[in-house]
């Protein structure tokens, strides 16, 4: 069964088990997915309201555009929930390959490196998608239904969890990557993503706290 087809209790029980996957990577993608959902909730509860409908048309067009962008990101994050666990399973398959001959050792080493890169790329995508969503929702906060700003605030926290949780998984897997150039690239990009996410999170949450 795919993780995304499980009930909340089933998924939670699977995490709380001896199985090493789903782990932090899949949970980070799920957290970000929920964060996007909460951000879109604010938009859903804005449409049709007098205050929203009285906004300039250009604002409403941009608001709807961002609402739709968040929908695309949310679906991409859904896919990454299972992809992260899939990447772990691929890595374990590579580890278990035979290593009795020189040819087998070389094949196994190459398979491990390929699987390692896969296990890095998936959470890296989660971090990027989460940051992309964070960059979009300031507009939702500004023009959306202000009665739901606390929901959006929780959404921001969930998206930030998606960013930093995914970055932690990338860094954890980088130690197995032999390509130093790629290792430096991912380290640099992850730090940049994390720094941007912190600034956005702090800015939006500060705005929300000041509105309460």
Q: What is the pLDDT of residues 170-187, one digit of tens each?
A: 999 999 999 999 999 999
pLDDT at position 42 is 97
User: What pLDDT was estimated at residue 61?
Assistant: 97
Mean pLDDT of 141-168: 98
Q: Look at phi and psi of residue 144 and say left if phi exceeds 0, alpha if psi is from -120 to 50, else beta.
A: beta
pLDDT in tens, 22-64: 899 999 999 999 999 999 999 999 999 999 999 999 999 999 9
Percentage, residues of the chain above pLDDT 90: 94
Predicted TM-score (pTM) of the model is 0.94
pLDDT band for position 100 (cuts 50, 70, 90):
very high
Q: What's the rounded Cα separation, in Å, for the pair 116 and 177?
A: 6
Q: Using an 8 Å Cβ cutoff, are 173 and 119 in contact?
A: yes
Q: What CATH architecture applies to the domain 21-211?
A: Up-down Bundle (1.20)
């Amino acid at each position: 069964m795919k993780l995304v087809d499980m009930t909340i209790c089933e998924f939670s029980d699977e995490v709380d088990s001896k199985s090493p996957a789903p782990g932090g990577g899949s949970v980070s993608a799920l957290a970000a997915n929920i964060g996007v959902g909460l951000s879109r909730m604010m938009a859903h509860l804005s449409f049709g309201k007098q205050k929203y409908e009285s906004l300039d048309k250009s604002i409403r067009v941009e608001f709807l555009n961002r609402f739709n962008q968040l929908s695309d990101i949310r679906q991409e994050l859904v896919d990454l929930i299972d992809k992260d666990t899939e990447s772990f399973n691929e890595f374990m398959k590579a580890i278990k390959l035979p290593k009795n001959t020189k040819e087998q050792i070389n094949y196994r080493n190459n398979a491990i490196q390929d699987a390692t890169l896969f296990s890095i790329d998936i959470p890296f995508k989660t971090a990027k998608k989460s940051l992309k969503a964070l960059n979009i929702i300031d507009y939702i906060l500004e023009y959306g239904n202000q009665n739901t700003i606390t929901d959006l605030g929780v959404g921001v926290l969930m998206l930030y969890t998606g960013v930093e949780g995914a970055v932690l998984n990338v860094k954890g897997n980088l130690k197995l990557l032999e390509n130093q150039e790629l290792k430096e690239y991912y380290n640099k990009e992850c730090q940049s993503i994390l720094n941007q996410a912190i600034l956005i999170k702090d800015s939006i949450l500060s705005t929300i706290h000041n509105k309460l």
